Amino acid sequence: MNYFRAVVKSGEVSKRVFNLTTVVIEQLPSNYNVWYVRRKCVDFLHINPIEELNYLNSITDGNEKVYQIWEYRRQIVQLRNSADGELTFLDGVMDLDNKNYHAWIYRIWLCGRFGLWEEERVNV
């Protein structure tokens, strides 16, 4: 963690820092700073948003109630500008816990942002 603090203090944005964020997230997924630094790296390194969503799918498993993951996911989906696969992903999360507040808030945002209300109404 001290290494990550030093990187944050230095302001470095690189592939090395991006990889470091992966390690830190595995240890502490609720750390706001690590998600902020990771997002800076995604922008700077032009990381493919689909690859980043695949990573988020794996890290969300077991961390479904960590707000920072949902906020970061929202940012990556906005960057991607597509909701493809998101409702299916959410269905899987909600099958585990249909009272997941963060998943519901994200679903509401997703439907509003991408005009999916009709699809939601039909699926009910």
List, in order, residues 6 or more apart from 98 with CB less than 8 Å away.
none
Rounded-to-integer distance, Cα 96 and Cα 100, Å: 9
Catalytic residue flag (residue 99): no
For residues 68 and 74, what is the distance between their CA atoms, to the nearest angstrom?
10
| Cα 70 to Cα 8: distance, rounded to the nearest angstrom | 22
Q: Which of 9, 15, 40, 65 is catalytic?
A: 65
Which are the catalytic amino acids?
65
